Structure 1
Amino acid sequence: MEPKAFRKSPRERLNDMVARLREDIVTGKLLPGQFLPSEKALAEQFDLSNQSVRKGLDILVGEGFLEKIPRVGNKVILSRNDDTTTVKFGFHSSVISEASLLKLIALFQEENPHIRVQAVPLTSSSFHYIGNYFSGGILDAVMMNYTDFRECMENGGENLLESLPRNPDMYPFLSDAFSSNEQLLVLPFIFSPLLLAYNRAHFTEKGVTEPDSSWTWHDLIRAAERLAVPNERVGFHFDFYSPNRWPLLALQTDARFERGPDGALRLCGTPMMEALRNCRDIKRELSHLSDGVATGESERMLAKGKASMIVTSFFYLNYLQNKPIPFDIAPVPHFGTPRSLLLSIGLAVNRRSTNKEPALRLLEFLTSQTAQTFIRQHTYSLPSLRPAAEWVGEEKMYRPSRFSLFRETIPGFRFFTDLGIDSAELTRLNRELKLYWAGLESESAVCAQIEAWSRDSAE
């Protein structure tokens, strides 16, 4: 049984019910005209009182998702106006919590009752998958992260994306990243550098000084050894093999993948091979790191007191919402030159869509001051609109004391492409290097294999 300290409060269970029903309606699992289970059944399902269930249903009625019919039940609706346009919007399911996405869609529909947003969860982020949806007219707009966008550009998908106006209030490094041939093709939505999150109580308990921007990886290793408690917690947890994590260490060395005259990667005897060897050595010194980590696992370990420090992102800090731990954040450790891997999520419109105007209106709302400030106030994710990201006011949730540190670390932000590779090469390198870092492949063998497949791809 989960410890009492980590059980959800009635308010959290009510929020879960509202979010679950809203998601099922927006994504089409519950269709217009269907009736919800009885209030009694919902109370049992979500461990709530009948009164709390009624409060939650009233929220969805107010948002225009439900109609209460006396003595009959709660019927699903999506608009009070029969003359509606449907915008099909593909999204990454993780962003439901990372940006309160469904709540934002509900706010948009309140302001635009003639537009219905059908949210379509994307089960794959592959460009071919998204490209087929765009080419076939299945999606009018889509959410894309930076890796999706680079894959799109690499595979000739530029003509599928509508050119968009730049917003001068967006952080320029985000707009630049989503541009091609001086055209903005994806509107920046939310972003995050990698960062270090830690349990302040553990540091106090062990008399360890809290991390700051001067910390190197060796400082972290020494602190992790002191913070660890056998059979109780680890000092540090890191999803090392993730393509959104390991490039951090390589970027911090300022090395780049070199190429031969044929465009193929050169690795043997290069500074990049030395950087990858450093990654292996760091992993060996942190021998407790898991070889396969589920999404959000590091954050759950921190929340339950099973890890003292983790490498995470502002996105994944949302796993810590409403958790009773005194956590704070710091810049990621480095090898002497501060660097952090930058993650970014944006929004694009299908150039061939027959509903282009309402799709553009949806994107305009999601990147507006209203929506972006909502993200800042209700989540840990960083909105791409500078005035929203740097908003200061009365907080609506627990906020770590160093939350605004991202502003001071912007000069050190780097994308994976700063390593001199494309998205396809990142995916292939991720597979090959796992064996090397796990000690299952020698350095000479992994060099030869990477250079061989890169030559084959270049021909």
Structure 2
Amino acid sequence: MSDKPSRKTFRTRLEEMIRTLREQIMAGHYAVGEYLPSELDLSLKFQLSNNSVRKGLDVLVEEGWVEKIPRVGNRIKPPSSEDQIVIRLGYYPIMDTQAELSSLLEQFQKRHPHIRVQPIQISDDRGYVRDLLAHDMIDMVMMNTYLYQDLVEEQAVDMLEPQEPFEELYPFLKKAFQYKDELHAQPFVFSPVILCYNREHFAELQLPEPDSGWTWDDLIASASKLAIRNERFGFYYHLLSPNRWILFLLQSGEAFRRDEDGRYRVHETRLLDGIEKVRDILYEPGVYPLLLSASSREAERLFKERQVSIIMTTYFSINSLKEADFEFDVAPLPHLNSLNTINLTIGLAIHKRSKVKAAAKQLVDFLVSDDAQRVIRKETFSIPAHKQAAQRTGQPVYPTRYQMYKEIIPSFSTYTDTGLTLKQLEDMLSECKLYWSGLRSKEKLAAAIEELLNQDRTGRNA
């Protein structure tokens, strides 16, 4: 019996060589203008004859990946626009400043000249990203925990491609994008909601700076002293942001749960203690600017102009303070019945029906790589999802307590920890606004919330 390899074996090896070289070129293993290994080296590596190797290289020439240079070798071609793979990436424009996204995409495209990324702006509005996915208008999307939860609740999460977790990333971040033990977005950057304060204002009045032992009453007391009539307020945050008011629900120390009769009970519980504390902050004279709650960006603007001494913010948002001409620092949120804060995570999701999933995965892999994540740590205040990159010392110098987030990881929570859906939380906010405006007592607020939570989807009382 002959030991000679069959034609099928040669064909399999040839196909393997073509596929391997094609994938290496697409992955940036060879840069544009670089030469492939010699025909002899390829012959030895893939156990093919020189003639078979030439046939395989002819295929790559025909596909537009390489060009033959007589008596020199086979050189990687710059791709034409027709040859490029296009990834339509849904992204938040603010990520350009909060995560150096434009710079990172530029680096990616230099490494992968055959892949072009087409950025498409997205919004946080519920249903917006869902519609883009449903109509196959994006291949990949940057997604926060709010938008992911919307997909889960609308039973649309199966539009996302499941991904394998990266061991190098903080493991607790997976919770934000996991459903039924499947990870649907790779964590990219994150931030807990925190305090940021003007150190000079505290020094002027010889007040102790915020620390992890602060309660909300401690904050109110300090903010009252820091406030100066017609000059500055003591404390500010965008009251109606889901990332702000919901954390007061979380700090009640209890979650909303149905009792043995299948009903929600709010009366005679601590569930509204945080909502009551919001009202205390709002009506403390001189502490909070009632008429300015337009957006979270307003908080950073007033703080930068020294018109507020303390703000509730995130590591993402303090990127706007890089040019501040005074020293500021960060601290954990004050606590009420618990220490909870909301952790905001931005993830990278791939559309399951995308025709360029392999290229999209390459982009995800790059953006969560050590190289890319170190750029984020060096150039921004945002926290990289990559653990080693996040804990890298050095720039930026301020805030000096940047690494404080590591000490409060056990307090990190998400919207789902309230026990309610996004729709229930939205409905509850309407009732809370009536209470904060003085049109409802706490007892009537509790009754109104019980009534809306105990209605089924048809609006009937459960």
The CA distance in 2 between the partners of 1:210 and 1:148, in whole Å, is 35
Name the structure 1 match of 2:327.
326
Q: Given the two structures, how large is their TM-score scaled by the length of structure 2?
A: 0.77
The CA distance in 1 between the partners of 2:263 and 2:363, in whole Å, is 42
Q: How many residues align?
A: 379
Q: Is the 8 A contact 2:249 2:272 kept in 1?
A: no
State the AA in 2 paired with 1:89: L
Corresponding position: 1:305 with 2:306: yes
State the AA in 1 paired with 2:122: L
Q: Secondary structure at the match of 1:235?
A: strand
Name the structure 2 match of 1:364.
365
CA deviations on 1:127-167 (whole Å, 9 max, x unpaired) are x3222211221100011111111111111112101010111
Name the structure 1 match of 2:87.
87
The CA distance in 1 between the partners of 2:182 and 2:310, in whole Å, is 40
CA deviations on 1:253-282 (whole Å, 9 max, x unpaired) are 312123256755432333213443333233
Name the structure 2 match of 1:177.
176
Q: Secondary structure at the match of 1:245?
A: helix
User: What is the correspondence of 1:36-51 to structure 2 with a 5 Å cutoff?
Assistant: none
Name the structure 2 match of 1:426.
425
Corresponding position: 1:392 with 2:380: no
Q: Is the 8 A contact 2:253 2:270 kept in 1?
A: no
Seq. identity, %: 36
The CA distance in 2 between the partners of 1:187 and 1:310, in whole Å, is 30
Q: Secondary structure at the match of 1:116?
A: strand
Distance 1:255 1:100, change over 3 A: same
The CA distance in 1 between the partners of 2:261 and 2:453, in whole Å, is 10
Deviation (angstroms), 1:322: 1.8
Distance 1:225 1:281, change over 3 A: closer
CA deviations on 1:163-215 (whole Å, 9 max, x unpaired) are 10111111111113311111111111111111111111111111111111111
The CA distance in 2 between the partners of 1:260 and 1:121, in whole Å, is 43
User: What is the correspondence of 1:47-86 to structure 2 with a 5 Å cutoff?
Assistant: 82-86=82-86
Q: Is the 8 A contact 1:232 1:306 kept in 2?
A: yes
Distance 1:224 1:169, change over 3 A: same
Distance 1:401 1:176, change over 3 A: same
The CA distance in 2 between the partners of 1:124 and 1:315, in whole Å, is 16
Range with greater deviation from structure 2 (100-109 or 344-353)? 100-109
Corresponding position: 1:255 with 2:224: no
State the AA in 2 paired with 1:268: H
User: What is the correspondence of 1:210-221 to structure 2 with a 5 Å cutoff?
Assistant: 210-221=209-220
Name the structure 1 match of 2:9.
none
Deviation (angstroms), 1:402: 0.5
CA deviations on 1:348-395 (whole Å, 9 max, x unpaired) are 0000111111111111111111111111111111111111111123x2
CA deviations on 1:393-446 (whole Å, 9 max, x unpaired) are 3x2x44211000001111111112211112222222223211211212333443
Q: Is the 8 A contact 1:262 1:458 kept in 2?
A: no
Distance 1:381 1:448, change over 3 A: same
The CA distance in 2 between the partners of 1:79 and 1:219, in whole Å, is 61
Range with greater deviation from structure 2 (341-350 or 447-456)? 447-456
Q: How large is the RMSD of aligned CA atoms in angstroms?
A: 2.1
Name the structure 1 match of 2:409.
410
Corresponding position: 1:199 with 2:177: no
Gaps of 5+ in 2: 1-77
Q: Is the 8 A contact 1:216 1:336 kept in 2?
A: no
Deviation (angstroms), 1:458: 4.5
Q: Is the 8 A contact 1:79 1:116 kept in 2?
A: no
CA deviations on 1:93-143 (whole Å, 9 max, x unpaired) are 2222211211211111111111111110013432x3222211221100011
Q: Secondary structure at the match of 1:83?
A: coil
State the AA in 1 paired with 2:222: A
Q: Secondary structure at the match of 2:392?
A: coil
Name the structure 1 match of 2:158.
159
Q: Is the 8 A contact 1:192 1:342 kept in 2?
A: yes
Q: Is the 8 A contact 2:190 2:344 kept in 1?
A: yes
Range with greater deviation from structure 2 (403-412 or 170-179)? 170-179
Corresponding position: 1:145 with 2:144: yes
State the AA in 2 paired with 1:83: D
Q: Which has the larger radius of gyration?
A: 2
The CA distance in 2 between the partners of 1:235 and 1:318, in whole Å, is 21
Name the structure 2 match of 1:35.
none
Name the structure 1 match of 2:272.
273
The CA distance in 1 between the partners of 2:263 and 2:319, in whole Å, is 40
Name the structure 1 match of 2:352.
351
The CA distance in 1 between the partners of 2:198 and 2:113, in whole Å, is 45
Q: Is the 8 A contact 1:98 1:315 kept in 2?
A: yes
Range with greater deviation from structure 2 (336-345 or 307-316)? 336-345
